[in-house]
Amino acid sequence: MIDLMPTSEEEAAAIVRAHAESGRPLAICGGDSRSGFGNAVVVEERLRSTGLSGIVAYNPGEMVMTVRAGTPLAEVEAALRESGQMLAFEPMDHRPVMGTSGEPTIGGVFAANVSGPRRLIAGAARDSLLGVRFVNGRGEIIKAGGRVMKNVTGLDLVKLIAGSHGTLGFLTEVTFRVPPSAKTERTVVLSGLNDAEAAGAMATAMALPVEISGAAHLPLTVTWKFLAGRLPEGEATVLRIEGLAGSVDVRVEKLAAAMSAFATVTRLEQPDSHRLWQEIRDVLPYADGTARPVWRVSVAPGTGHQLVAALRLEAGVDAFYDWQGGLVWMCMEAGPEAELVRRFIKALGGGHATLIRASAAARAVTSAFQPEPEAVAMLSRRVKEKFDPAGIFNPGKMG
């Protein structure tokens, strides 16, 4: 693999133009923390954004930051912590579960629309994105969006680029919202609920006026892996509340009182709460150094546990739930069982299953992405043709 690392937009544009003219494919990459993700396609050259690094503009009072796409995520988060601000969408670190060692970049986060437990109330990464600069497949430098949400010019284009996995353009710069970070957090733990009971409890909790910022269920097979085995005994249904200390105290008590009708209730104070949600975000139970297939499945919150129950009758599967049960992380004992997984998802009303991790042999015969309905697939092809007419960008990241 040959790495091409431009240090300017103009240099990146020239590289893309040369490849478009010759039809040579390019893998689009940031810090390489998600290498191995996608369909198994051999590409000899890789265009990386790591040479485009640095914070371009940041005024904490405006709660907006502009950063070059190759800037390490850790650098962005460090600058935000100094000003008491955060990335609201809480992006996960894929390195533990994927067994990679690269350095996550801010451009990679938005290109993959990486969103963690707080997505429940903060939205996905794309919902924080205000503007982008990128190089399209013709080698043209494109600017879309702006530094404030009321500037709607190009907002649809901004949302389109987010989550496109580098198939539509090479990101060079991103502008995004950075709200104040929570002063404190606590987590209410319900013990002993099975998957279906937990789904009901989480639905009730989310309807309460207490502003829950995280809702997950950890079955017995995984609870011992969190907080170094220090969670209360049994299954754990966990509900996070964040904000000012006084407000958090009041809301936690209201939530605990309501949830006591479902199960035994305990509480986690800030240090343990913070660590727990980092471990949920980064899929700690399946960061096991193996290549066992791991699926990221998005379904309606009430159907996640039904999907897992159906799969357990047909295949060896372990799972836990985030986003009130709407995000299911599944680890298969043997092969990916893609046809089975997607057939059951369709039977339960639809959703999306993305193969995050698998062996090279499994990825060679399994589509990593949820197949699109024909009408949607046709639209996707037309968009791809407009942005990347020569079809050179990230062939392994297309459905």
Q: What is the DSSP code (8-state) at residue 6?
A: -
39 pLDDT band (50/70/90 cuts)?
A: confident
| Residue 235 confidence (pLDDT) | 98
Q: Which fold has domain 2-180+390-397?
A: 3.30.465
Judged against a pLDDT cut of 80, whether residue 399 lies above it is answered with: no
42 pLDDT band (50/70/90 cuts)?
A: confident
Residues 6+ apart with CB under 8 A from 272: 187, 227, 230
The CATH architecture of the domain made up of 284-365 is: 2-Layer Sandwich (3.30)
- The tokens for 60 are 């904490």
- Measured CA to CA, the distance from residue 309 to residue 344 in angstroms comes to 10
| Residue 398 confidence (pLDDT) | 59
CB 53 within 8 A of CB 43: no
- Measured CA to CA, the distance from residue 247 to residue 261 in angstroms comes to 23
How many Cβ atoms are within 10 Å of 339's Cβ, its own excluded?
Answer: 9
Q: Where in the chain is the domain with CATH 3.30.70.2190?
A: 184-281
Residues 6+ apart with CB under 8 A from 385: none
147 pLDDT band (50/70/90 cuts)?
A: low
Judged against a pLDDT cut of 90, whether residue 161 lies above it is answered with: yes
Q: What average pLDDT does the structure give for the chain?
A: 93
Tens-place pLDDT, residues 236-273: 999 999 999 999 999 999 999 999 999 999 999 999 99
Sort 259 into a burial class: Cβ within 10 Å, 0-12 / 13-18 / 19+: buried
> Which secondary-structure segment (H or E) carries 88?
none
Predicted TM-score (pTM) of this structure: 0.94
152 pLDDT band (50/70/90 cuts)?
A: very low
Tens-place pLDDT, residues 98-117: 999 899 999 999 999 999 99
The residue-averaged pLDDT of 346-362 equals 94
Identify the CA nearest to 251 among candidates 206, 211, 216. 211
CATH number at 184-281: 3.30.70.2190
Query: How crowded is the C-beta side of 114, counted as CA atoms within 13 Å?
Result: 23
Secondary structure tally for the chain: helices H, strands E = 15, 16
Percent of the chain with pLDDT over 70: 96
Tens-place pLDDT, residues 297-324: 999 998 999 999 999 999 999 999 999 9
The residue-averaged pLDDT of 130-141 equals 95
- The tokens for 24 are 């040579």
Q: What are the φ and ψ backbone dihedral angles of 199, each rounded to 5 degrees? A: -60, -40
Question: Lowest-confidence range among 1-10, 121-130, 221-230, 365-374?
Answer: 365-374
| Residue 149 confidence (pLDDT) | 43
The residue-averaged pLDDT of 134-149 equals 84
- Measured CA to CA, the distance from residue 107 to residue 173 in angstroms comes to 7
